[in-house]
Structure 1
Amino acid sequence: MLKRYSIRAFCGAMALCLLPDLSFADAKSPPKSWIDPDTGHRVIRVTDEPGSASLYFNIHAYTPDGKQMIYTTADRGIGVINLSTFTAKPLVKGPVGGGPGAVVVGHKTATVYYFKGLKGDSHYGSLWAANIETGEQRKIADLPRRAGIFSINADETLGAGSYIVGDGEDYNGRQAGQVAPHPTAEEPLDKKTKMSRRLAARLPMVIFTVDLHTGQIKPVFASTDWIDHLQFSPTDPTLLMYAHQGEWQQVEKLWTIRTDGSENKHIDPRIMKMEGSGHQWWDHDGKNIWYDLHIPLGMISFVASYNVENGDRTWFHYAPEESSIHFNRSVDGSLFAGDGSDAPGARWLYLFHPELVKDDRSLGEHLIQPGKFRAERLVNMSKHNYHLEPNVNFTPDGKYVIFRSNMFGPTYVFAVEVSK
């Protein structure tokens, strides 16, 4: 992911600031809940197992009834959280996974779909499903070489994934089923270097679907661009979003395509030099794709949307001190959340109240609807190390924002109440 600020010295100074009056010295027994004295919001530690974590911000983690949430366990397995009691239990023993999107919950049934690598050969793996209610597990399909599954469609008939053709080295180490290369003392592969090398490699890739009933694999689209972050629409089973990966200003980022390979469309054409966009997600109703937009990078920032039905666009401006690695939107659309960042003054979890700018008879057609965020701080994150991304998302009922944090040393899953 693109980092827009590099201020480790500032972060070190911020880490000296005190969080709430908690017993941080005892890392073995962090508090179960507290009221953040800087924000007035109650924070709950949801998991007890050090090393447990919530999913990436745009991966569907909730059962269709909104009562349970999937998380990953310390042994790289899968667990289930009851959202009414915030109690957690294991579901699938680890290790599972192998890449982003390797664990995702269906929109139609209480089923979690996950990737399992083949022991002894990281080039091969398979797609599995587990019933969240009964724990029953079943294998769906063996996947192509160097493949991973990223998303499940709305009616749970198809999974979508990608694979690299041949033996070209994946410098970024992100392709599911692949082992990331180890940096050497002579040539350490930092994140920016890995991304630049991976983009320049022009490795041939294929987007494919897998039939969840028959296991049939079907190619959808082939490219030598670096393709990643496949996300099915939560309501349209044939519509898939994907991203061109790389540094944001260097790629034509966001695209949609049909599962039959038709209607391949670039949805965020650049209008300015050094413009960058990314960290995209679908609205709950499948009408809008939201993403982080900078024109140019590091100067003016928006959370922007594209309506897949009519092409309408909305841009909500946010201040530099409210910069977040990821944003998300509540199911009812009334609120946004941000997970903060290393930017000066931005080490907070944020609640954003969107406000549209009133139109006073503007001239022109198909204009962007402007707006701004009114920010409210949710959690003081001065003790959090942002090498770990908090990945905020709202619970389906809108009462909590879920995130992961290492503020006590090990990583745990947390929930913060939206209302004070």
Structure 2
Amino acid sequence: MKTTFALTVLSGLLHFGLSAQAQPTLATGAQKPMAAAEWIDEATGHRVVRLTPLSGSNASFYFHNNPFVKQRRREGDQMVYYHTSPEGKQLYTVNLKTRKSEPLTRAFAQVSGEIVAPKRREVFYQTGDSVYATHLDTKKTRLIYVFPPDFRATITTLNADETQLGGTWSTNEEKEIYRKYPAKSDYFNRIYEAKLPRTLFSVGVDNGQLTKIFTDKAWLNHVQFSPTDPQLLMFCHEGPWHKVDRIWTINTETKDVKLVHKRTMDMEIAGHEFFAPDGKTIWYDQQLPRGATFYVTGTDLKTGYERKCQLDRNEWSVHYTISPSQQLFAGDGGNETAVAKAPDGKWIYLLRPEGLKFKSEKLVNMKQHDYALEPNVHFSPDEKWIIFRANFEGESQVYAVEIAKKAL
């Protein structure tokens, strides 16, 4: 009986994602691979956990794409991520409580699209010209839509009531620029300067109806539906940030287009925009001017009021995110060659707003991470962890860092 009880306790500890023994204190990325799947970062004192197995390359979602589906009872929240092996790129799920990973898509050699429908408990994705949805629990897959030959496009977002997928269509001329110049440093200015038309569109999830929403001779990109307003779609005018008024919204019913933030000085930049969880504010990286002073700024969509929180140069991040309670922010840092030219910016940061500035806390030492892979931070649904991707063990994996420091 005592033996059975001991095994039950140990099983319970592992099931809840807790270690049966103390985690080692290690320099993150000093070993490839690390000696353990979880450790205390010796530079910060925070616990770091690898969520994905070392086999293959694994990557969490882009910073503004929700990867989570909440638990129904107590089985654990699910997170969707990409697993790449010699057989191809597939979507997987990991249980954030048990850390058990399972394949979600297996029928296709390559899939793309990072769209989770938490109410439907489905994941939408694309392979070639076809859009599918797979249920997280039953793994049942259904065909949603096949793009016609004269409108080959890409889905990127799902609206708040989960009835409309959204994305952009581009011309064959633009696709040819990508083909001839696959590196971002080569295609970026070429596409911006070409001024080719792009079209925002939606596809009905249940009826497969394609609707063309808006066309402009501009590089329309970074398309995101509001998390609360089913008719509000955000998009950007892509290009060199100091040359564009980047952030826009459109009402998909009225077709009313609005500029969210207009630049106020030469060389000002604003970008990497994302919605607050309540849909009332759009937040973005703002620099006044580029590379000089750094802010995370939020524009209230109803009043137009802009709230600025300033960061030091080393605290600037490639991407920022906001917690579900909207009380905390996080950033994924940046290397010395990025826009901030930060001498010590390679950290995962927790950011607490205090008046007009952020008070930052370093969570993970990212000095062994190659920032060619963007970490893309996410708060876990329970707001206890920050999840990111990194290659400091040699290949891309998905990690979580605990916000609370481990008691010594």
Percent of paired sites with the same residue: 38
The verdict on how the C-alpha distance between 1:268 and 1:304 changes in structure 2, with shifts beyond 3 A counting, is same
Conservation of the 8 A alpha-carbon contact between 2:227 and 2:278: yes
What does residue 18 of structure 2 align with? none
What does residue 352 of structure 2 align with? 353
Matched position secondary structure for 1:317:
strand
The amino acid that maps onto 1:129 is A
Conservation of the 8 A alpha-carbon contact between 2:318 and 2:332: yes
The verdict on how the C-alpha distance between 1:347 and 1:289 changes in structure 2, with shifts beyond 3 A counting, is same
- Return the alpha-carbon distance in structure 2 between the equivalents of residues 135 and 171 of structure 1: 36
Moved over 6 A (4+): none
Following superposition of structure 1 onto structure 2, how do residues 8-407 of structure 1 map, counting pairs within 5 Å? 20-21=26-27, 24-27=30-33, 31-48=36-53, 49-65=55-71, 67-74=77-84, 75-93=88-106, 94-98=108-112, 102-117=113-128, 125-144=129-148, 145-165=151-171, 167-170=172-175, 173=178, 180-182=179-181, 191-260=184-253, 262-342=255-335, 343-356=342-355, 371-407=356-392
- Return the alpha-carbon distance in structure 2 between the equivalents of residues 234 and 253 of structure 1: 20
CA displacement at 1:261 relative to structure 2: 5.0
CA displacement at 1:68 relative to structure 2: 0.9
Conservation of the 8 A alpha-carbon contact between 1:279 and 1:292: yes
- Return the alpha-carbon distance in structure 2 between the equivalents of residues 387 and 328 of structure 1: 19
CA displacement at 1:237 relative to structure 2: 0.6
Matched position secondary structure for 1:206:
strand
The verdict on how the C-alpha distance between 1:232 and 1:107 changes in structure 2, with shifts beyond 3 A counting, is farther
- Return the alpha-carbon distance in structure 1 between the equivalents of residues 138 and 68 of structure 2: 16
TM-score w.r.t. length of structure 1:
0.83
Note the aligned Cα RMSD (angstroms).
1.8
Conservation of the 8 A alpha-carbon contact between 2:28 and 2:42: no
The amino acid that maps onto 1:135 is K
- Return the alpha-carbon distance in structure 2 between the equivalents of residues 280 and 141 of structure 1: 28
Conservation of the 8 A alpha-carbon contact between 1:106 and 1:154: no
Once the two structures are superposed, what CA deviation does each residue of 1:190-231 show, in whole Å capped at 9, x if it has no partner? 533421100011111111110111101010001110011110
CA displacement at 1:24 relative to structure 2: 4.9
Conservation of the 8 A alpha-carbon contact between 1:53 and 1:73: yes
Conservation of the 8 A alpha-carbon contact between 2:353 and 2:359: yes
CA displacement at 1:146 relative to structure 2: 3.0
Conservation of the 8 A alpha-carbon contact between 2:166 and 2:200: yes
Aligned length: 364
Higher helix share: 2
Matched position secondary structure for 2:189:
helix
What does residue 8 of structure 2 align with? none
Once the two structures are superposed, what CA deviation does each residue of 1:243-267 show, in whole Å capped at 9, x if it has no partner? 1111111111000001125220011
In structure 2, runs of 5+ residues without a counterpart are 1-24, 336-341
The verdict on how the C-alpha distance between 1:171 and 1:337 changes in structure 2, with shifts beyond 3 A counting, is farther
Conservation of the 8 A alpha-carbon contact between 1:283 and 1:329: yes
In structure 1, runs of 5+ residues without a counterpart are 1-18, 118-124, 174-179, 184-189, 357-370
Conservation of the 8 A alpha-carbon contact between 1:64 and 1:108: no
CA displacement at 1:312 relative to structure 2: 2.2
Conservation of the 8 A alpha-carbon contact between 2:181 and 2:187: no
CA displacement at 1:106 relative to structure 2: 1.1
